[in-house]
């Protein structure tokens, strides 16, 4: 049996007509950039996320960069974020001219550890950017409390957290803004790159929308030197079709996670979920001994496991110039050596999950 980490073919098959109709509609009207579907997606995804405004962008990375710029990040500024995340989190900071400052993670949630946050704040700190890793909300009240004492804005990297809930409220407007990725493998994925900024701040939303469209509010009149970070209408149409199914897919992910919890009890360390959080399980991540060997054995058995992430950002060659050393963030480093992502997607069957667990059990025995 072969089981992918994420089965996009199965998802497409389940809603093929809706997707095909959406694509055909855009091709027929030929409004490929800034079409009405982009505006509709902004409205509907913002409402879904509990925010007043949405700004479509060309990727999650571009959404992060636009939001950071809107919050004033530039040269000589620092942005505090986690070291256990995809590199795009830090890239967005760097491309604004800012410097990423890393903080270690909580050993159970893998999210930013609020207790280690305040010691990282300096006069140059402009923004704190927690990541809702694997679809699990970070401890936002604790982070906001630290930020509030120092008058620092909080921007949420929610690129993996579509529909996640923090204390009964969907991620999307807890901080000054939140940024989402619609990369194909995300819980809500496009058929290419796309992203979104959600916020309750109209001024921030308007500025991001203008800068994403070459710094203009009307054709050929450019108030600022902007960017070409717009979302294609084709991607917006696909995402609108998928958004109608996101909640049912999220329910399925949570059900599958509960099944894994039951099947894996006593075998490995399963994901921890605080009582105030509702994860959307973008990844179902366990911790295993001899992770690399287990990974290879699972792959050989046809199971599409993943590692998110094998190298923390402070140890990446791209950030060598920041001067961090191995051992500075021991929790993140330990996690990077032991985390293993198991296949999880809405269309997954009990037979597939049982096979994954069977092969994991065998891989652990060697």
Quick one: pLDDT at residue 218? 86
In whole angstroms, what is the distance from residue 40 CA to residue 26 CA? Answer: 13
Whether 1 is in a domain gets the answer no
Mean pLDDT of 174-191: 98
Q: Which residues of 185-211 are buried (b: 16+ CB within 10 A; e: fewer)?
A: ebbbbbbebbbbbbbbbeebbebbbbb
What CATH number corresponds to the domain at position 315?
3.90.1150.10
Tell me: pLDDT of 111 over 90: yes
Are residues 199 and 252 located together in one domain of the fold? Answer: no
Tell me: pLDDT of 196 over 90: yes
What's the alpha-carbon Rg for the chain, to the nearest Å?
A: 20
Quick one: pLDDT at residue 6? 98
Nearest to 261 by CA among 295, 288, 290, 284: 284
Q: What is the mean pLDDT of the chain?
A: 97
In whole angstroms, what is the distance from residue 164 CA to residue 246 CA? Answer: 11
Are residues 180 and 99 located together in one domain of the fold? Answer: yes
Tell me: pLDDT of 148 over 90: yes
Q: CB-based contacts of 273: which residues, under 8 Å, 6+ apart?
A: 136, 279
Are residues 223 and 274 located together in one domain of the fold? Answer: no
Contact 31, 250 (CB under 8 A): no
Are residues 199 and 257 located together in one domain of the fold? Answer: no
Q: CB-based contacts of 31: which residues, under 8 Å, 6+ apart?
A: 233
Contact 69, 55 (CB under 8 A): no
Tell me: pLDDT of 222 over 90: yes
Contact 318, 234 (CB under 8 A): no
In whole angstroms, what is the distance from residue 340 CA to residue 335 CA? Answer: 9
Mean pLDDT of 182-197: 98
Confidence of residue 215 (pLDDT cuts 50, 70, 90): very high
Q: Which residue's entry shows tokens 């950071």?
A: 68
Quick one: pLDDT at residue 279? 98
In whole angstroms, what is the distance from residue 111 CA to residue 170 CA? Answer: 17
Domain boundary among 184, 208, 243: 243
What CATH number corresponds to the domain at position 232?
3.40.640.10
Mean pLDDT of 179-194: 98
Are residues 115 and 217 located together in one domain of the fold? Answer: yes
Whether 252 is in a domain gets the answer yes
Contact 91, 61 (CB under 8 A): yes
Are residues 238 and 260 located together in one domain of the fold? Answer: no
Whether 309 is in a domain gets the answer yes
Encode pLDDT of 272-323 as tens digits. 999 999 999 999 999 999 999 999 999 999 999 999 999 999 999 999 999 9
As beta bridge partners, residue 222 has: 216
Are residues 322 and 203 located together in one domain of the fold? Answer: no
In whole angstroms, what is the distance from residue 133 CA to residue 158 CA? Answer: 8
In whole angstroms, what is the distance from residue 174 CA to residue 166 CA? Answer: 9
Whether 3 is in a domain gets the answer no
Encode pLDDT of 313-350 as tens digits. 999 999 999 999 999 999 999 999 999 999 999 999 99
Tell me: pLDDT of 104 over 90: yes
Are residues 196 and 344 located together in one domain of the fold? Answer: no
Domain boundary among 243, 267, 295: 243
In whole angstroms, what is the distance from residue 203 CA to residue 70 CA? Answer: 9
Express as a percent the part of the chain with pLDDT over 70: 100
Confidence of residue 363 (pLDDT cuts 50, 70, 90): very high
Whether 87 is in a domain gets the answer yes
Burial-class residue 320 by CB neighbours within 10 Å (0-12, 13-18, 19+).
exposed
Are residues 105 and 201 located together in one domain of the fold? Answer: yes
How many domains are there within the chain?
A: 2
Tell me: pLDDT of 217 over 90: no
Are residues 112 and 138 located together in one domain of the fold? Answer: yes
Encode pLDDT of 44-56 as tens digits. 999 999 999 999 9
Quick one: pLDDT at residue 297? 98
Are residues 219 and 172 located together in one domain of the fold? Answer: yes
Q: How far is CA 66 from CA 59, 202, 204, 316, in A?
A: 11, 14, 10, 24
Quick one: pLDDT at residue 254? 98
Peptide bond between residue 129 and the one before it cis (omega within 30 degrees of 0) = no
Q: How far is CA 167 from CA 72, 148, 275, 279, in A?
A: 29, 19, 8, 11
Tell me: pLDDT of 366 over 90: no
Nearest to 103 by CA among 315, 334, 274, 328: 328
Domain boundary among 243, 276, 292: 243
Express as a percent the part of the chain with pLDDT over 90: 98
Residue 58 domain boundaries: 9-243
Are residues 288 and 231 located together in one domain of the fold? Answer: no
Whether 192 is in a domain gets the answer yes
Whether 119 is in a domain gets the answer yes
Whether 43 is in a domain gets the answer yes
Question: What is the reported pTM?
Answer: 0.97
Question: Furthest-apart CA pair in the chain: how many Å?
Answer: 66
């Amino acid at each position: 049996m072969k089981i992918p980490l994420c089965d996009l073919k199965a998802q497409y098959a389940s809603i093929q007509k809706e997707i095909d109709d959406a694509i055909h509609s855009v091709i027929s009207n030929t409004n490929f950039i800034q079409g009405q579907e982009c505006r509709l997606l902004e409205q509907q995804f913002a409402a879904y996320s509990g925010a007043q405004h949405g700004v479509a962008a060309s990727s999650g990375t571009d959404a992060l960069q636009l939001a950071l710029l809107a919050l004033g990040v530039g040269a000589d500024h620092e942005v505090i974020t986690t070291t256990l995340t995809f590199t795009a989190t830090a890239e967005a900071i760097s491309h604004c001219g800012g410097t990423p400052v890393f903080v270690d993670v909580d050993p159970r949630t893998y999210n930013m550890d609020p207790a280690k946050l305040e010691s990282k704040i300096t006069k140059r700190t402009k923004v704190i950017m927690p990541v809702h890793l694997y679809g699990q909300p970070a401890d936002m009240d604790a982070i906001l409390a630290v930020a509030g004492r120092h008058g620092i804005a909080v921007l949420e990297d929610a690129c993996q957290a579509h529909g996640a809930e923090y204390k009964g409220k969907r991620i999307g407007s807890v901080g000054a803004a939140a940024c989402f990725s619609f990369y194909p493998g995300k819980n809500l994925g496009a058929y290419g790159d796309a992203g979104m900024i959600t916020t309750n701040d109209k001024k921030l939303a308007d500025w991001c929308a203008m800068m994403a469209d070459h710094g203009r509010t009307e054709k050929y009149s450019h108030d600022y030197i902007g960017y070409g970070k717009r979302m294609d209408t084709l991607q917006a149409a696909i995402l609108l079709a998928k958004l109608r199914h996101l909640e049912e897919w999220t329910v399925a992910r949570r059900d599958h996670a509960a099944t894994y919890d039951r099947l894996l009890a006593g075998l490995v360390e399963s994901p921890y979920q605080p009582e105030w959080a509702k994860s959307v399980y973008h990844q179902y991540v366990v911790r295993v001994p001899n992770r690399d060997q287990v990974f290879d054995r699972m792959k050989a058995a046809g199971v599409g496991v993943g590692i998110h992430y094998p190298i923390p950002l402070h140890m990446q060659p791209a950030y060598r110039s920041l001067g961090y050393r191995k051992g500075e963030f021991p929790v993140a480093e330990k996690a990077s050596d032991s985390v293993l992502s198991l296949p999880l997607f809405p269309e997954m069957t009990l037979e597939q999950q049982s096979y994954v667990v069977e092969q994991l059990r065998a891989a652990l025995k060697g």
